[in-house]
Amino acid sequence: MMLRDENDAAGVRMLAEAPRFQRLALRHENGTAPKAITAFNLFQTPRIVAACMAELVKAHVRPGARILEPSVGLGRLYEPFADMEGLRENWVGVENAIECVRAVRAAMQRSEIHERDFLTADCGDLGGQFDAVVMNPPFKQGCDIRHIEHAAGMLAPGGLLVSLCYDGTKQNAKLRPMCDTWERLPSGSFREEGTSADVVLLTIRRA
């Protein structure tokens, strides 16, 4: 599977000194989720990548499947599921930034968002195991490793995890052996989202 080196202009600008979100622009773009204008460690998924991730999930699960997104952010990964009848109904999100939770609830009328640190949640907190997980975890200081390992433990038998991660030495050592697929995205795929980090798209299937 090849992804084109294309990005939509999300307008993410970073303030390195900002400890948390300072401002959210509740401006909509063709009915989609709002954009972050200033943020800390929030890099939205380019829509072409989000669409590809959603298609991987759609090809694997049946209607009625429970789908988890551990770090909702501003809802970019949910957007492709919004039109997928049979999959959007059992989508569950987790997000620890109240500003993002409020924005996504308002923009997408989604109430199934748990405001909490994903790493402190378990399947019991979120209603049971999941048939699929789709995620763009935080990359800072190896957080992506911990988030992906934790999310993989929430998969039901036969479940599929589709995630992005940083293409770093630690990630290759810890995550790659767990994965069924490991695809390095084209260089610069996230540039217009505010980062030049090299990113991997991976999948993990539970037996």
Please state, in angstroms and rounded to a whole number, the distance separating the CA atoms of residues 68 and 90. Answer: 9
- Are the C-beta atoms of 26 and 106 separated by less than 8 Å? yes
Q: How far is CA 59 from CA 62, 65, 155, 207, in A?
A: 8, 12, 16, 17
Topology of the domain covering 13-205 = Rossmann fold (3.40.50)
Torsion angle defined by CA atoms of residues 73, 77, 81 and 87, in that order, rounded to the nearest 10 degrees:
-80
Please state, in angstroms and rounded to a whole number, the distance separating the CA atoms of residues 48 and 74. Answer: 16
Q: What is the pTM of this model?
A: 0.81
Choice among 69-78, 141-150, 165-174 with the minimum mean pLDDT: 69-78
pLDDT value of position 170: 97
Delimit the domains of the chain by residue range.
13-205
Of the pLDDT bands very low, low, confident and very high (cuts 50, 70, 90), residue 9 is: very low
Please state, in angstroms and rounded to a whole number, the distance separating the CA atoms of residues 103 and 76. Answer: 12
pLDDT value of position 41: 61
Of the pLDDT bands very low, low, confident and very high (cuts 50, 70, 90), residue 201 is: very high
Please state, in angstroms and rounded to a whole number, the distance separating the CA atoms of residues 195 and 12. Answer: 9
